[in-house]
Structure 1
Amino acid sequence: MANVLDEIIEGVREDLESRRAALPAGRLEADLASIAPALDPLPAFRAAPGVAVISEVKRRSPSKGHLAEIPEPAALAAAYEAGGASAVSVLTERRRFAGSLADLDAVRQAVRIPVLRKDFIVDPYQVTEARAHGADLVLLIVAGLDDLLLRDLHAQALELGMTPLVEVHAPDELDRAMDLDPVLVGVNARNLKTLEVDARTVHEMLPRIPADVVAVAESGVTGPDDVAAYVRSGARAVLVGEALVTGGRPTEAIRELIAAGTTARPEQE
């Protein structure tokens, strides 16, 4: 069976080499001096009364194909912020998601809340690149990295002032993630190797994440009921893309997701 994650990463590496040739690492690192310090998303994530929403700028997906045009990612991000989103996630992978670093730049300039570069990070160059384009968070997918590279990329992100969102899908991946002493762990309902979605994965794994780590539920959100269920299982934040870009009312939709999380949050917390 084809491994979709491996296929995506192969394309990511090819595109990365083109960018590296155009802008060598030394020049990219020099650009960091002109970038404002990264924003810390954790206070807002932890203080959210019900759930923090990480809203996503997402045009396509390998499983669903075209989702939305999004001619002005900055305007969409501003609508997310107006609805109460705690952060904005920006897809920058080109081949399967129709994203770009230009989208990241536009969103960073449009909002005051933290911005996540969501991509398939497999090289230190991409972490530096994320910070150079103003990202405050960077996604690290455990399934796509060996232990040494995962640890190095995690440490690099921290050194640059960013917050790594360490994404897992299976118990063994969570064990590997916890070896990093992470502050932010996402459980993805989507198996990136097959693209199948099963929300039970999130519900089963969230309780295993220590209370001092902010737990993020990813994928499988079609509306407020899904968010409420994730919150009851232990999610402090949810990452939502498809439901927001296809619904036509991003600001109102985020408010509804937050309200659902607030209702679902156990009183003792």
Structure 2
Amino acid sequence: MLADLVAGAREDAERRKAERPLSVVEAAAAERAPALDALAALSPAARIKIIAEVKRASPSRGALAEIADPAALAVSYETGGASAISVLTEERRFRGSLADLEAVRAAVLIPVLRKEFISDPYQVFEARAAGADLVLLIVAALEQRELVSLHELITSLGMTALVEAHTADELSRALDTGAGLVGINARNLSTFELDRDLFGTLADRIPSGVIRVAESAVTSAADVAHYRAAGADVVLVGEALVTSDPVATLEEFLVV
């Protein structure tokens, strides 16, 4: 599944590149206001912080929500207390787009993450041109040389990389990039199986000074509390928010 998602995202990026060359996207990225400081926004605090996700669908669950107005949803997330917004831009299985990201960036004052299967520098420049402050890098989808190079590019453009791991080896590789923001995804992106306890088994390997993000398997305040007790500074939540009253759900989650 992961290989298919990465290949599809790369094909879509190549199509966009033919329509809008890299030089044009680089110029658009340079014209953007500087990226917001995501590390400051997500830094450890007395209470858990939340990255709230704009997510219409997923390969594992199919359609989740129409989200005709992603900007309005993002504003409700900000109102509800989210510290950052994640926007799925993958077109095929998640039904997202860069237009969603641009709309969200224009509507909120908190950092915005491009959630995509990144494997090409073109996609990083696209992210900055669309106003992203953070870019997801999935360790399992990249060779180490690619991972390091993309991380360096993201940093050079003033953005922050959220480097995502699913195993101890992947976590080691994530930390080797010097990442200040590391996610542990409970969902195996090859099989899409969930292991809510995975974060707790790996969190102690993340050194102090690196922000720890728990991803996936968050459906209730009890799940948030579970991750918090295991050492999470931040949780990334999508499905539970787009299928409920987002403000009320965020308020419930943020009391943890």
Q: Cα gap change, 1:168/1:144 in structure 2, threshold over 3 Å: closer, same or farther?
A: same
| 2:29 equivalent in structure 1 | 32
Matches within 5 A, 1:195-206: 195-206=192-203
Is the 1:217–1:230 Cα contact (8 Å) retained in structure 2? yes
Name the count of aligned residue pairs: 256
Q: Which residue of 2 aligns with 1:231?
A: 228
Q: Any stretches of 5+ residues in structure 1 without a counterpart? A: 261-269
Counterpart of 2:104 in structure 1 is: 107
Length-normalised TM-score, structure 2: 0.98
| 1:132 correspondence with 2:137 | no
Say whether 1:164 aligns with 2:129: no
* 3-state secondary structure, aligned to 2:27: helix
Deviation at 1:48, TM superposition (A): 3.3
Q: Counterpart amino acid of 1:224?
A: A
Q: Give me the whole-angstrom Cα distance separating, in 2, the residues matched to 1:171 and 1:161.
A: 28
Measured in 2, the distance between the counterparts of 1:195 and 1:17 equals 26
Corresponding position of 2:252: 256
2:140 matches 1:118: no
Whether the aligned pair in 2 keeps the contact of 1:45 and 1:51 (CA below 8 Å) is no
Residue equivalent to 1:266 = none
Task: Give the equivalent residue in structure 2 for 1:54.
Answer: 51
Q: 1:211, 1:258 → 2: CA distance?
A: 23
Q: Is the 8 A contact 2:44 2:233 kept in 1?
A: no
Q: State the SS of the aligned residue for 1:116.
A: strand
1:145 aligns with 2:142: yes
Helix, strand or coil: the match of 1:199? Answer: coil
* 1:267 corresponds to: none
Normalised by the size of structure 1, how large is the TM-score?
Answer: 0.94
Matched ranges for 1:232-247 at <5 A: 232-247=229-244
The Cα of 1:47 is off from its aligned counterpart by 4.9
AA at the equivalent of 1:135: A
**Aligned with 1:46: secondary structure?**
coil
Find the residue that maps to 1:254 and give its secondary structure.
Answer: helix
Equivalent position of 1:265 in the other structure: none
Structure 2 SS opposite 1:138: strand
Deviations 1:178-199 (A, max 9, x none): 1111100000000000000111
**3-state secondary structure, aligned to 1:178:** helix
Distance 1:55 1:45 in 2: 12
Q: Distance in 2 between matches of 1:44 and 1:74?
A: 20
Alignment of 1:67-86 (within 5 A): 67-86=64-83
Query: What are the Cα deviations for residues 210-251 of structure 1, in whole angstroms up to 9, with x where unaligned?
Result: 12100000000001110011011110000000000001x101
Kindly indicate whether the alpha-carbon contact (under 8 Å) linking 2:29 and 2:126 is maintained by their aligned counterparts in 1.
Answer: no
Amino acid at match of 2:118: I
CA RMSD of superposed structures (Å) = 0.8
Separation in 1, partners of 2:25, 2:76: 31
Unpaired runs of at least 5, structure 2: none
- Does the residue aligned with 2:43 lie in a helix, a strand or coil? helix
Structure 1 residue ranges (4+ consecutive) displaced by more than 3 angstroms after TM superposition? none
Identity of counterpart residues, as a percentage? 57
